[in-house]
Amino acid sequence: MALNLGKAGQAEMSAPAAIELKGISKAFGPVQANKDISIRVMPGTIHGIIGENGAGKSTLMSILYGFYKADAGEVFIAGKKTEIPDSQAAIAAGIGMVFQHFKLVENFTVLENVVLGAETGARLMPSLAQARKLLTELAAEYDLKVDPDAKIEDLGVGMQQRVEILKALYRKADILILDEPTGVLTPSEADHLFRILKGLRDEGKTIVLITHKLREIMDVTDTVSVMRRGEMTNTVKTAQTNPAELAEMMVGRKVLLRVEKTPATPYAKVLEIENLSVKDEDGVERLKGINLDVRGGEIVGIAGVAGNGQSELLEVLGGYQKATGTVRINGEEIDLTGRNSDGRTRREKGIAHVPEDRHREGLVLDFFAWENVIFGYHNADEYQKSKWLMDNKAIKAETAAKMERFDVRPPIPSLTAKNFSGGNQQKIVLAREMERDPELLLVGQPTRGVDIGAIEFIHQQIVALRDRGKAILLVSVELDEIMGLADRIVVMFDGQIMGERQSGQTDEKELGMLMAGITEPAAPSLPPMRQGAPETWT
């Protein structure tokens, strides 16, 4: 399918595109990240770019913003051929970028951050005064209210993102690129962001939205381009497509978007948590008296915006975070603070843990696959040849078998972990943690950075483990994943459990409220946009 534009599209074709890329190619070593990419982004539209992780979306935008130099190809901005050797040139060409990880100075005020790098002279005061005036105007114009004197570190993520947008607008950006902007937002914050984006579009700005979430594409974009393995495969009008079709374009085959599972048949309680509290190094309470049970044969999903205590909960149960309170596994209390509160003891008690961050925790990236497949279980008898020596041969054989069963590609035990794709790395971790038939499986962000095809497989494996009667505690920031996979949903906010819902008897809106810390269901008079709430988060 080539450019599949409707009548309106043909009319637009005659006007100069806001951005036009012609034949862009970029290789990193042997990896071809972008292959002969051509795309036209029309002015005054929201243009989505969707693709799996590693499809080359971010590389393409980095070329546009001057971070990378393309090996081949041309860039036209508003019909004019433009060289973009660095980000200064991109800004000069009217391009603003909002990164996934914000680039703000934490202990500067909003105003100082906005002005940073765009000061008008040697003296700061006139710049700041000028910026304050402009900021007020922008805030009024686009519904982008932020207190200019607030420090960044005191703002919630939603607010910080607005500062990033303001930064771009202050630099007179006509084209705004947003890279996975909703990853850190609650559903309601995301909705507000989309309202802002639509407002900006209606004022004539051009917006490029990079995401891997189909829902966002459907909700907010006018046109969508699909990338797969470094190539631009399709560009279609959003109104003329649907999520299933887009998913198929992304992966190259039909994909099951829903998790197929039967209703849970829970058995006895496997995990019992009573009054669990955690203080971090600075003495801040990260968990505030959590009470939670997980029974065998059920998946309990913990929903919440990242940073509200879910990670700490997993760390405590995984054995590398001290806590107070009581945790029982099959009725037996486990040590939370003493000598036996480590990962090794937890594994011996039948707790397996797929950590949230496989690069930081789940894998040793410079280890071979076979070394990673025993990681954490390396003290087990079957891996020892004698009292002192490990049985590397047996480990390699076992690894080959596990890689085969979990469809890890390529199935080479002596390949270094960092050389596998995200999905295959995750499969290595899952194979390690699930194949030992644990009593309780802790799963954090099982499909973060994993391609759609592998997501399907991973979800099936988790459901299969549940159906074998095991208890599963799932943490994910992807609400769709929680709603699709969990049998029971618990929402965490600010280190507390805000509420519990049966899966299928709740919706995104209700969960979104809970995620924002609003427990009162009777709050219809609540203004659609809550300025205050995000600031209380850290």
Partner 1 sequence: MDVIPKWADALLIPLLSILLSFFISALVILAIGEDPIQAFKLMIDGTFGRSEGFGFMLFYATNFIFTGLAVAIAFHARLFNIGGEGQATLGGLGVALVCLSVPWPHWALALPFAIIGGALFGALWALIPAYLQAKRGSHIVITTIMFNFIASALLVYLLVEVLKPEGSMDPATARFAEGTNLPRMSDMLGVIGIEFSSAPPVNITFFLALLACFLFWVLIWRTRLGYEIRAYGQSESAAEYAGISPTKIIIIAMLISGALAGCMAINSVMATERLVLNSVEGAGFIGIAVALMGRSHPFGVVLAALMFGFLVQGGAEIDFWTDIPRELIVVIQALVILFTGALDNMVRMPLEKLFLMFRRKGPQS
Sites of contact with partner 1 (CB under 8 A): 29-30, 318-320, 342-347, 353, 355, 360-367, 371, 375-376, 378-379, 384, 388-390, 392, 416, 419
Q: Which is nearer to partner 1, 379 or 519 (CB)?
A: 379
| Residue pair 400/424 in contact by the 8 Å Cβ criterion | no
CB atoms within 10 A of CB 371: 21
Distance between CA atoms of 288 and 2, rounded to whole angstroms? 54
Least distance in angstroms from the C-beta of 336 to partner 1: 14
Q: Which is nearer to partner 1, 223 or 310 (CB)?
A: 310
Q: Which is nearer to partner 1, 164 or 371 (CB)?
A: 371
List the beta strands (DSSP E) in 218-295. 223-228, 231-237, 269-279, 285-295
Q: Which is nearer to partner 1, 362 or 423 (CB)?
A: 362
Amino acid symbol at 498 = M
End-to-end Cα separation, the chain, in angstroms: 46
**In the numeric block, which tokens belong to residue 363?**
């894998």
CB atoms within 10 A of CB 346: 26
Q: Which residues pair with 51 in a beta bridge?
A: 227
Distance between CA atoms of 212 and 229, rounded to whole angstroms? 14
Q: Which is nearer to partner 1, 102 or 367 (CB)?
A: 367
Least distance in angstroms from the C-beta of 480 to partner 1: 27
Q: Which helix (H) or strand (E) holds 9?
A: helix 7-14
Distance between CA atoms of 351 and 252, rounded to whole angstroms? 37
Least distance in angstroms from the C-beta of 440 to partner 1: 16
Q: Which is nearer to partner 1, 379 or 531 (CB)?
A: 379
Q: Which is nearer to partner 1, 355 or 499 (CB)?
A: 355
Least distance in angstroms from the C-beta of 442 to partner 1: 11
Closest of 86, 26, 85, 93 to residue 60, by C-alpha = 26
Dmax (CA) for the chain in angstroms is: 77
Least distance in angstroms from the C-beta of 319 to partner 1: 6
Least distance in angstroms from the C-beta of 29 to partner 1: 6
Least distance in angstroms from the C-beta of 345 to partner 1: 7
> Does residue 410 have a cis peptide bond before it, meaning omega lies within 30 degrees of 0?
yes
Q: Which residues pair with 98 in a beta bridge?
A: 178
Residues 6+ apart with CB under 8 A from 188: 512, 513, 516, 528, 530
Q: Which is nearer to partner 1, 195 or 349 (CB)?
A: 349
Least distance in angstroms from the C-beta of 472 to partner 1: 18
| Residue pair 490/497 in contact by the 8 Å Cβ criterion | yes
Q: Exposed, middle or buried, 420 (CB in 10 Å: 0-12/13-18/19+)? A: buried
Pairing of strands 269-279, 324-329: antiparallel
Least distance in angstroms from the C-beta of 402 to partner 1: 17
Q: Which is nearer to partner 1, 391 or 535 (CB)?
A: 391
Closest of 347, 295, 350, 331 to residue 471, by C-alpha = 295
**Rg of the chain on CA atoms, in Å:** 25
Q: Which is nearer to partner 1, 361 or 494 (CB)?
A: 361
Least distance in angstroms from the C-beta of 364 to partner 1: 5
